[in-house]
Amino acid sequence: MAPLPRHRILHHLRLEWESHHRQLPDIKDLEHLAADMTMEQADFCCNKSVAVYIMTAEKTLFPRAYLLLEMLHNHLYDKWFRPYRRKLEYGQFLARTIVPQYPSLPTGAGPGDVVDIVIPVHAAISIRAEEARLALKELGSSPQNKGLDRNRSLSSIIRHQEFFILQPLFRALAIVIRGDSFNAQVLDIGQLSVLVIRTGMEEGLSAPISFDPIAHQITAFLHGSHGETAVETALDTAVDFVMDLEERELAAFGLRPDPVASTRGLEDGCFRGPSFRHKAIRLGWARWGDDPLVGPSSQWVDLDKVEKERMPAAGELKVAPAPGQIWSEREIQLWNARAKERMPAAGELKAAPPPGEVSGVLSPV
């Protein structure tokens, strides 16, 4: 294969990274976190802005759980994703979905009961995630041997813990979806009613959390037994609220983890660096001399070159962003161009992936 130009190699690698990042989590990895958390699960709680709990009074969520999880994951991703520009390293994403062992709610539990149940569960998960990471750093006898990837050296795993950060916003907020109220026929999951809970753990935030910015979109105010507050609103409103708080914290403290320091040597916390270096060499990277391949990957793609090479035809349909989401004209053009390239040939079977599986390509909003 003829070596590719430098900018195309970087473009190819970034697209592969985005595809890997978007993969739907396995529901088995989302259960029992408070009771038995592995090192990998602790890291997966880091660099997220909120936990989304799926809770139910039913004895089983299957098979609706897979559909709900897939719809939720795709919706969150479409709200959060920006082509080529989002920071993906060290598991950075908007939310961590958690499915407590069901039935996770008593029969007949009201919204106030849910608040009282979720807050201690969330506190336990936050504490266990921090304890697991600290135990690994100290090389003690606690969970550092559980859930470790044996293909990664212990020294690299310990080094990466500096950049797996349990964000203050993650501690402070939780979103709850009642799985037993989910209707599989729902067309717009963004309108699904959810609870947004202030957990009372707001240390490290730039300012206290207030629901005033979404007051006109709140359908109910709730209070926990210990004074914690929660509101009932639509999922889209909750997500927009969290993303606005993300921007507030970013303005106050900057990017955490630092995108340059955390990606030296092409490290990303998931040990994908060597595989990307090898792939870059196969694509012809050595042709460009001693130019090192370094992160962050959000700086790899030259939008001017991509736009020039892949400009959609005049009059091509421009896909609207999700409600409350504003894309630039350039982002819309790039999104449509990528969608057009992935379009199956006329008459080709369009088969949906089985439950719990994502095909590895991104669907337009």
The pLDDT of residue 336: 59
Q: Kindly report, residue by residue over 86-112, the tens digit of the pLDDT.
A: 998 888 999 999 888 777 888 888 888
Tens of pLDDT, residue by residue over 119-176, are 999 999 999 888 877 777 665 434 444 444 444 566 667 777 888 899 999 999 999 9
The backbone torsions φ and ψ at residue 161, rounded to the nearest 5 degrees and listed phi first, read -60, -25
Residue keyed to tokens 């892949």: 310
Q: Which residues contact 46 (CB under 8 A, 6 or more apart)?
A: 90, 91, 129, 133, 164, 165, 166, 167, 170
Nearest to 335 by CA among 318, 357, 356: 318
Going by DSSP bridges, is the β-strand pair 229-234/220-223 parallel, antiparallel, or unpaired?
A: antiparallel
Q: How far apart are CA 8 and CA 280, in angstroms?
A: 10
If one counts every other C-beta atom within 10 angstroms of the C-beta of residue 249, the result is 18
Tokens 């909003």 identify what position? Answer: 365
Contact status, residue 259 vs residue 89, Cβ threshold 8 Å: yes
The whole-number average pLDDT for the span 333-341 is 57
Is it true that the peptide bond before 296 is cis, omega within 30 degrees of 0? yes
CA atoms within 13 A on the CB side of 15: 16
Q: What single DSSP character describes residue 53?
A: E
Taking the C-alpha atoms of residue 132 and residue 129, their distance in angstroms, rounded to an integer, is: 5
Confidence (pLDDT) at 142: 42
pLDDT digits (tens, 9 = 90+) for 240-298: 999 999 999 999 999 898 888 888 777 666 656 567 778 888 888 877 666 777 888 89
- Is the previous residue joined to 364 through a cis bond, with omega within 30 degrees of 0? no
Tokens of 43: 């890291």
- Burial of 44: CB neighbours in 10 Å, binned 0-12, 13-18, 19+: buried
Rounded Cα distance between 245 and 225, Å, is 25
pTM: 0.77
Query: What dihedral do alpha carbons 289, 291, 293, 294 form, nearest 10°?
Result: 170
Task: Inform me whether the pLDDT recorded for 308 exceeds 60.
Answer: yes
Joined together, the tokens standing for residue 252 give 């106050």
What's the mean pLDDT when you consider all of the chain? 77
Query: What is the reported pLDDT for 117?
Result: 92
User: How far is the C-alpha of 298 from the C-alpha of 305, rounded, in Å?
Assistant: 15
SS3 content of the chain, % helix, strand, coil (to 5): 45, 10, 45
Contact 352, 66 (CB under 8 A): no
Tell whether the model's pLDDT for residue 12 goes beyond 50.
Answer: yes
120 sits in which H/E element: helix 111-138
Which of the pair, 64 or 303, is modelled with greater confidence?
303
Q: Can you list the pairs that 325-330 forms with residues at least 24 positions away whose Cβ atoms lie under 8 Å? A: 325/79, 327/82, 330/303
Interacting residues of 227 by C-beta distance below 8 A, sequence separation 6+: 200
- Residue 337 has a pLDDT of 60
Q: What is the DSSP string of 121-178?
A: HHHHHHHHHHHHHHHHHHT-SSGGGSS--TTS-HHHHHHHTTT----HHHHHEEEEEE
Q: Which one is predicted more confidently, 324 or 359?
A: 324
**Residue whose tokens read 């201690």:** 120
Taking residues 340-358, report their average pLDDT.
43
Place of tokens 């990664």: 152
Q: Could you read off the pLDDT of 16-73 as tens digits, one per residue?
A: 888 888 876 655 555 555 556 777 788 889 999 999 999 888 777 666 778 888 899 9
Domains of the chain, residue spans = 24-259
Q: Which amino acid is residue 44, in one-letter code? A: F
